[in-house]
A and B are shown apart, each in its own frame.
Chain A
Amino acid sequence: MGMVTLSDDMFAADVIADPYPYYGRLREEDPVHWNELYELWVVTRHDDVVWMTRHHELFSNAVFRNDPRPAYPAIDESDLGLYEYVRNYQADQFIQHDRPEHLEMRKVVHSYFTPRAMEAWRPFVQKAVQELLDAAEHKGHMDVMKDVATPLPVLVIAQMMGVPAADRPHVRKLAEKLLNIGRGEHDRMKPLTEGMQGMIDYVSPLVDERLTHPGDDFISVLAAGERNGVFTRHQVLVNTSLLLLAGHETTINLLCNGTLAFIRHPEQWALLKGDPEGWAQRATEECLRYDAPVKSLQRLATQDVDMRGKVLRKDDRVRWFISSANRDPEAFAQPDRFDITRDPNPHVAFGSGVHHCLGATLARVEGQEVFKALAERFPSLHLETEVLEYQPSITFRSLKSLPVAWS
């Protein structure tokens, strides 16, 4: 069969609606593909994604600092100054660094997020989930996005930051502006920068206070990093926002995409309902694999690299596709089947290597508790619409809403 030219428009409406056939063709026909339109490499096989992410010395994560090319999708010309602000902000996040700096920065925050430490948050998450479902139950229907998935991660993160209860609505408003990080609208820079600066303004006095009166919250952890000379003040502020920038949209997507997968696969929903406690863990892993919260992320080649006969040049942009790797038939039997009994499940939803998602265990706990609670409380859960839309993002697999009902 002759090679059919693959479209390079990763934002085409059909690709946004259902990216999997497109990723499947790339993975089959040209697994290390040069995308002319966006001038970047597209890596789609599971073994290549794992190899890449484990060779951090070849693929830099200091993307915002070192990639001079413009934002994509494009933004308003008049907002280029705001994009500079966003670049400087993002560049100071610890994840946007390479070794050796990255290791010293990660060490400051790593212990806060150990599996055991996050397990201690489970009762808080359980209570928050029950309260959100209590508020929705009498209505007989809800938007999973608005009523559960969006508020839950902010409740948890605000508690981690030690935000007083009275300030939570303010933090929630800022969090919603920060969601523009993953959006495609040409005018997204204004609300995004308002959210970023709003977080800096809000968190600054908290940092001052916790430098002198440290507690067991996450801001105190970052403030200790400033005291030890690992972080500048700007880095402390920006890394506080990182909790929301990295932990909000991603968790929303896990909860919404996972719930949708269950609604579309009644036999798997029946399985979960039969033993919610028993299946919650594996079910969450399969949701992370089947319709991953993050579709793709970017690195920059630090030197010329050979991959499958292609030469990636130093400073080339390289995007690695989690959502494609998670459906690679070389890594998963019947990869397009949603199957919560899958074990082992070596999905790469959280990446791999030194940048493996710091919040992975927390996301897992939130997913497990939500899927379990929905199965226990709303066994007749079904869609209230057949028209579902996704945000035009190449990074996130984000529904715009998820209206459901139960009887």
Chain B
Amino acid sequence: MARPLRVWVDHRRCVGNSMCEALAPAVFRLNASRQSEAINPAGDTEEKVLEAAENCPVSAIFVEDAQTGVRLFP
């Protein structure tokens, strides 16, 4: 059983590059102003979520272990 994640996008940083949506479309989706929202942190594997966070060109994606609060990215 995969551990639950807390995932969020800082909209002061997000530039709508949308690589996160391209890499993990079940987790991230662009909103009406074309900024990314973490719509479903459980939508893909932890590995994919971390890959999307790593590939954010402006480091706008944050990932934590939802139970322990331990920061997984960055």
Interface residues of A (CB under 8 A from B): 54-55, 103, 106-107, 110-111, 113-116, 344, 346, 350-354, 356, 358, 360-361
- Establish whether residues A356 and B57, one from each chain, have CB atoms under 8 Å apart when the complex forms: yes
Chain A minimum-CB-distance residue to B14: A352
Residue from the list A111, A354, A358 in contact with B18, Cβ < 8 A: A354
- Establish whether residues B57 and A116, one from each chain, have CB atoms under 8 Å apart when the complex forms: no
A/B interface sample: 10 pairs, CB < 8 A? A54-B33, A54-B34, A55-B34, A111-B55, A114-B57, A115-B56, A353-B17, A353-B34, A354-B16, A360-B58
- Establish whether residues A116 and B34, one from each chain, have CB atoms under 8 Å apart when the complex forms: no
Residues of B40-74 whose CB lies within 8 A of A: 54-59, 74
Tally of B interface residues using CB under 8 Å: 16
**In the assembled complex, B12 has its CB within 8 A of some CB on chain A:** yes
Provide the bound-state CA to CA distance between A115 and B55, in Å: 8
- Establish whether residues A114 and B55, one from each chain, have CB atoms under 8 Å apart when the complex forms: yes
- Establish whether residues B17 and A354, one from each chain, have CB atoms under 8 Å apart when the complex forms: yes
- Establish whether residues A114 and B54, one from each chain, have CB atoms under 8 Å apart when the complex forms: yes
Chain B minimum-CB-distance residue to A111: B55
Provide the bound-state CA to CA distance between A353 and B58, in Å: 12
Nearest chain B CB to A364's CB is how many angstroms away? 10
- Establish whether residues B15 and A116, one from each chain, have CB atoms under 8 Å apart when the complex forms: no
Residues of A within 8 A of B34 (CB): 54-55, 353
Residues of A within 8 A of B33 (CB): 54
Residues of A within 8 A of B74 (CB): 116
**In the assembled complex, B9 has its CB within 8 A of some CB on chain A:** no
Query: Shortest 8 CB-CB distances between A and B: which pairs?
Result: A54-B34, A352-B15, A356-B17, A54-B16, A356-B15, A115-B59, A353-B16, A344-B12
Residues of B within 8 A of A54 (CB): 16, 33-34
- Establish whether residues A107 and B15, one from each chain, have CB atoms under 8 Å apart when the complex forms: no
Residues of B within 8 A of A113 (CB): 57
* Residue from B16, B54, B58, B74 with most neighbouring chain A CB atoms (10 Å): B16
Residues of B within 8 A of A116 (CB): 54, 74
**In the assembled complex, B19 has its CB within 8 A of some CB on chain A:** yes
Nearest chain A CB to B48's CB is how many angstroms away? 14
Residues of A within 8 A of B59 (CB): 115
Residues of B within 8 A of A115 (CB): 56-59
Q: A106-B19, A110-B55, A116-B54 are in contact. List 15 more A-B contacts (CB 8 A).
A: A54-B34, A107-B22, A110-B19, A110-B57, A111-B55, A115-B56, A115-B59, A116-B74, A344-B12, A352-B15, A353-B16, A353-B17, A354-B16, A354-B17, A360-B58
Residue from the list A103, A344, A360, A361 in contact with B22, Cβ < 8 A: A103
Residues of B9-47 whose CB lies within 8 A of A: 12, 15-19, 22, 33-34
Provide the bound-state CA to CA distance between A350 and B57, in Å: 11
Provide the bound-state CA to CA distance between A221 and B15, in Å: 25
Nearest chain B CB to A230's CB is how many angstroms away? 14
Chain B minimum-CB-distance residue to A117: B54
Residues of B within 8 A of A361 (CB): 57
Nearest chain A CB to B33's CB is how many angstroms away? 7
Provide the bound-state CA to CA distance between A22 and B3, in Å: 56
Residues of B within 8 A of A358 (CB): 57
Residues of B within 8 A of A344 (CB): 12
Chain B minimum-CB-distance residue to A358: B57
Nearest chain A CB to B22's CB is how many angstroms away? 6
Provide the bound-state CA to CA distance between A55 and B58, in Å: 19
Contacts A110-B55, A116-B54, A361-B57 given; indicate if A346 touches B19 (C-beta within 8 A): no
- Establish whether residues A353 and B12, one from each chain, have CB atoms under 8 Å apart when the complex forms: no
Nearest chain A CB to B17's CB is how many angstroms away? 5
Provide the bound-state CA to CA distance between A344 and B12, in Å: 8
Provide the bound-state CA to CA distance between A103 and B56, in Å: 14
Provide the bound-state CA to CA distance between A344 and B59, in Å: 15
Provide the bound-state CA to CA distance between A116 and B18, in Å: 18
Provide the bound-state CA to CA distance between A360 and B56, in Å: 12
Provide the bound-state CA to CA distance between A351 and B16, in Å: 10
Provide the bound-state CA to CA distance between A351 and B19, in Å: 15
Chain B minimum-CB-distance residue to A359: B57
Nearest chain A CB to B73's CB is how many angstroms away? 10
Provide the bound-state CA to CA distance between A352 and B57, in Å: 11
Chain B minimum-CB-distance residue to A106: B19
Residues of A within 8 A of B56 (CB): 115
